[in-house]
Chains A and B, each alone.
Chain A
Amino acid sequence: MTREEPRAYSRRLFLQQGVTLASIASTVPWFIQRSASGIMHPLDSAVSSLAGVPEERILVVVQLGGGNDGLNTVVPYFSDSYRLARPGIAIGAPGAPNGGAGEAIQLDENAGLGLHPQLGGLKELHDQGLLSVIQGAGYPNPNRSHFTSMDIWHTARRDAKGNGWIGRYFDNTCNGTPTPEGAISIGRKAPLAMIGDVQKPVSFESEDLFRWLGQDLHDSMKDPYDKINRMGMPGDVEPDTQASFLMRTALDAQLSSDRIRTAVGRRPLVEYPNNNPLAAQLRMVGAMIRDEMRTRVYYVTLGGFDTHASQLNSHGNKMRQFGQAMNIFQQDLKAQGNDSRVLTMVFSEFGRRVAQNASGGTDHGTAAPMFLVGPMVRPGVLGQHPSLDNLDSGDLVHTVDFRSVYASVLDDWMKSSSVDVLGEPFQKARIFNPESLK
C-alpha cells in the first residue's frame, strides 16, 4: 500500500528526530512543563515553599448533604417558639433535658445557644478558640429542592447556572492553566463547586480506585500497563497532536496516583475513629496535606442529613460523626504543624423547617448555621440568630448571605478577588481574626 497510513501520534509518515532538548521535554509531564514556562508557579515552588506563605494556604470544604437540621445543631434554647414547634424533638436547655432529645451543650450562655448533645467534639474546638459559628446562613428567595439549592451553594449564583465557585476561583487565578491536583474531592464524582472551564478537580472515592484496576487481573499486567502509560510522549511523537496530549495526561495520572496513594498510605499521627465516613475522608485529606501536596482546595461530603422521619437517632448519629471527625482532623493538623495553613468550612444546602412534622422528623427548610474551623477564624458565635417568631411560611429568614462568607474566604484567605470570582460584590462577613491572617 502506498498511501499514508494514519498514525495517531504523528501527522506525517516520517518525522525528523527532534533536537535533544525536545526529547527531554517530552518526558516531562504536562503540568511541570506548563509551569516551567512560567505561567503559574516557578518550577521549584513545590520544594521551597514554607508553611504560612499565602500560596500555601489550604481550604477544606465539608458538605453536609441532605439538608442539616440547623436548629438541632446550634440549639436556640432561649426560644419558647422553638420548644413549642418541636414538642418531641426540641433539645432542652443545658441542665433541662427534653426526654429522649436530651439537653444541649452550653455554647453561648448570653445568647441562649447550645450545641447538639453529640457535638462534644465541636465544643472542644470552640473552647480552644478554633471554631466560629455563622448563624442563619442562606440566600434570598430560598429553594427547597435538594438539587437546586445545592447547585445554588455550589455556583454561588441564585439561578444555579454555570461553573462552580471554586472552579471559577482556579480559572481566575491560574490564567487558563489547569493545576493538576490543585483541587481534590473525595467522592465518586467531582462536585459542581470544583468545576471550572479550565480547572477540573481530581476526584476519587478511595485512593485504591484512583488507579488502573486491570492490574488486579494478573501479576503480569502491571508492567506492560506502566510501559504504556508512563511513557509520556516519546521523541517521535508530534507534540501538538491529540495523541501526545493524551499520552502526557496518562503520565500525569500515573504520577498523581502514585503521590496520592503514597501520601494516603502513611500512618497518621493521630488515631482517627472507625465507622465514621467523614473522619475517613478527613484522614485522607490530612495525609495529603502532611505530604505537602500542592492541593489548595479539598472537598469532602457527609450525607444522610435528610431527616424526614424519626430523626432523633439518625440526626444524633450524624452529629456525633461530624463532631468527632472535625475534632480529630484539627488534632491531626496541629500534630503536623499545619493547623495555621488550613481553614475548614462547613455548610449544608439548607436547614429544616422550624416545626417538626407528623413523623417525628423535619422537612426541607431554609437558613442554617455554617461553621469555620482553624486558628485563623474569629471564634465564637457570629451574626444574628434568625427570628423564631417572624417566619416566612414556617421557615427561618436568613440573616447572612452565604456568598458574603465565600467573599471573605476568597479575598482574605485565598488572596483572590471575590468580585471576579462571584461576579458581583458581596459585603464580606467578618469571619477572620485579622491578627492571625498576617
Chain B
Amino acid sequence: MPETTLRALNRQDFDFWAAHHLLSRAGFGGTPDQVLSLSRLGLDDAVDFIVDYQSLPEPEVSAGFQSDIMRPPTREESMAYQQARRSGDEEALSEFRRRRQERQAADRKQVEEMRKWWLERMIETPRPLEEKMTLFWHGHFATGYRAIEDSWHMYMQNRMFRTEATGNFGRLLYGIIRDPAMLRYLNNNQNRKQRPNENLSRELMELFSLGEGNEYTESDIKEGARALTGYTYEDDEFRYNERNHDQDQKTILGRTGNFDGDDLVGIILSRRVCSEFIAMKLYKFFVNDEPSVPNKEQRTFITAMGRRLRTHEYDLKPLLKALFKSEHFYAPENRCSVVKSPIQLMVQTIRSLRTPVRDLSTLSAAGDLMGQSILEPPSVKGWDGGRSWINTSTLFVRQNLAVYLLTGKRPDIYDWQVSGVRYDGDHMLSTLERDERGRVSPQEALPYLCRFLLGSEPHPSRLETLNAFLDRHGGRIDGDRLVGALCLITSMPEYQLC
C-alpha cells in the first residue's frame, strides 16, 4: 500500500466546519470567532498552528506543589519507629500512625489540587493539543493515585507526559520503565532476580506497546520481567539496583542476550505491531471510537499511520500532522463519531460557549460522577471510552453539568446559586447577520447554533422544538431566551458527540 492512504484533504474543502472539527478533536473546541480565524489560516497553516504549539505561550496556571509530603522516613525516624515496635510502646506507635495519617490527608488534598490545576490548564491553555495528548498518555500509561499514595510522583509523571506529549513514543516507553509512579503502581520495585514480579512486563507488552496477545507469549512476559529486575526508585529518583538485576541470558521475542529493561523496550519498539497498536489507539482517540473491529478502509488507514510512525522513528508530530490534514479525518462518517469523554465535555463546553468556569472543585467532582477522575483511572487499562461513558446516570450528570456552566445552578443544591456570574451568550451569534435593531432572527440562529454545538446538522424535529420554544417567548433569541435555548441544545443526546 502506498502512503497515499493518508491522502490530504483538498485545500478548498477546509471550510469553517472543517476547522470546527479540527479544533474539537485536536483540542477542546473553540468559540465561533476562534473557529473562523482557524479556518482562514487554511488547512496547512491551521494544522501546523495546532501541532507546532511550542511557539505559543504556556498557560499561566501556577503549580507550586510540595514534593516531600510523602517523602520516605529518615534513618532516625525509621530507627525510632523500629524501637517503638520492639518495645511495644503503644503511645509512640499511635503517634507515628497519627502523623502518617496526617501526611496522607495532606497528600490527598494536594492530589485534588493537582486535578484542579490540570483542569484549569486544559481550560486556559493556548496549546490545547499539548493537554489533550497529555490526557491521552495518562489514559494509555494509566496510573492511579490511590494505589501509590504519592501526589508528587503523579505530578512528575504528568510532567513527563506533557514534555513528550507530541514528542516521541519511544522516549515515553523508555521513560515509563523509569517512572517512580509506574514502578510503584505495577510493583516493579518488588521485581528482583530471586523473586521476579511480572506485572510491569505484562502490561508493558499487553497495554502499553504491542496489544493483548499480539506476537508475544507468556514466556516473553516472564523473560521480559527478568530484564526489568532491579528497576526501582528511591524517593523521587529512578534507581537501577544492580544487585537485584538478573544478569543471565534472556530470550525475548526471538532475540537472546543479557538484556536489561532498556534492551527490552528497544526490542519492543522494533516490532511493526507496536507502531500499529499505537496508531490504532490514536485513531480511536482522534478519528472514530466506534470500530471495535475496523473495516477495510479503516485498517488501511491505521496501517499507514503505523508506517508513518516507524518512518519517523516514533516521532509523533509527522503522524499527527498527516492525520489532521488527511481527507479521512474529515470524512462525513468520522464527524461526530466520538463520544466526548467527561473531561472533553466539560472543557469543550466552557471553551466553545465561553461560559464562566464556575468552581473547579465542582468540575472535578462532576468528572468523578461521570466516570473520569483524572489521576485516578479505574485500572491500568485506563478508561474504556466510547459508549462506556454513557449510561442513564451519567447522562443526567452530563446534561446537568451544562446547565450548571450556563446558569450557575449546581446539580446538588436545590436553590438557585447564581454566584454572581451571569452568562452572556451573545458572542455565540457573532458571525451571523443582524437586523437594524441588532437582532439575529431565530430562523438564522437556531440551525447555526445546533450545527455549531452538535457538530452536525440537527434532526428536523430538534429545530421544530426549539422554534416552538422561542415562539412562546416572543420569537427572539437573546438574554435568558438564548441561555434557555443553549440549555436545551446541550441536553440533546447528540451533544455528547464530537
Contact = CB atoms under 8 A, between A and B. Distances in A.
Of the listed residues B290, B403, B416, the one surrounded by the most CB atoms of chain A closer than 10 A to its CB is B403
A250 B369 contact: no
Of the listed residues A6, A212, A234, A236, the one surrounded by the most CB atoms of chain B closer than 10 A to its CB is A6
A55 to B, nearest CB: 22
Contacts of A246: 339, 390, 395, 493-494, 496-497
A324 to B, nearest CB: 26
B65 interface: no
Nearest to B381: A162
A277 to B, nearest CB: 15
Contacts of A364: 97
Contact of B466 (A178, A224, A249, A355): A224
B228 interface: no
Contacts of B469: 220-221, 223-224
Contact of A221 (B104, B411, B487): B487
Contacts of A415: none
B400 A212 contact: yes
Majority SS at the chain B contact face: helix
B493 A363 contact: no
A67 B289 CA distance: 41
Category for how many chain B residues contact A: 35 or more
Contacts of B98: 363
Contacts of B472: 220
B484 A221 contact: yes
Contact of B332 (A11, A148, A151, A201): A11
Contacts of A208: 414
Nearest to A200: B391
A266 interface: no
Given A4-B332, A6-B456, A245-B387, A212 B396 contact: yes
A8 B488 contact: no
A212 B403 contact: yes
Interface string B1-24: 000000000000100010000000
Contacts of A223: 469
Interface in A53-112: none
Given A11-B332, A188-B369, A209 B412 contact: yes
B307 interface: no
Contact of B412 (A205, A212, A228, A252): A205
B58 interface: no
A50 interface: no
Contact of A8 (B365, B400, B454): B454
Given A9-B459, A11-B332, A253 B395 contact: yes
B465 A5 contact: no
Interface string A184-199: 0000111000010000
Contact of A249 (B465, B468, B493): B493
A210 B391 CA distance: 12
Given A5-B332, A217-B487, A234-B459, A224 B396 contact: no
Interface in B204-231: none
Contacts of A228: 462, 465, 488, 491-493
B491 A243 contact: no
B376 to A, nearest CB: 10
B97 A363 contact: yes
A6 B336 CA distance: 8
Interface string B480-498: 1001100110011110110
B336 A200 contact: no
Contacts of B455: 6, 8
A19 interface: no
B491 A161 contact: no
B487 A242 contact: no
B206 to A, nearest CB: 14
A237 B387 contact: no
A162 B411 CA distance: 30
A225 B473 CA distance: 16
B364 to A, nearest CB: 13
Contacts of A145: 104, 149
A234 B462 CA distance: 11
Interface in A242-263: 242-243, 245-247, 249-250, 252-253, 256-257
Given A213-B411, A242-B497, 8 more contacts: A214-B399, A220-B469, A224-B468, A228-B488, A243-B336, A247-B493, A249-B390, A249-B395
Query: Lowest 4 A-B CB distances belong to which pairs?
Result: A6-B335, A246-B493, A253-B392, A8-B456
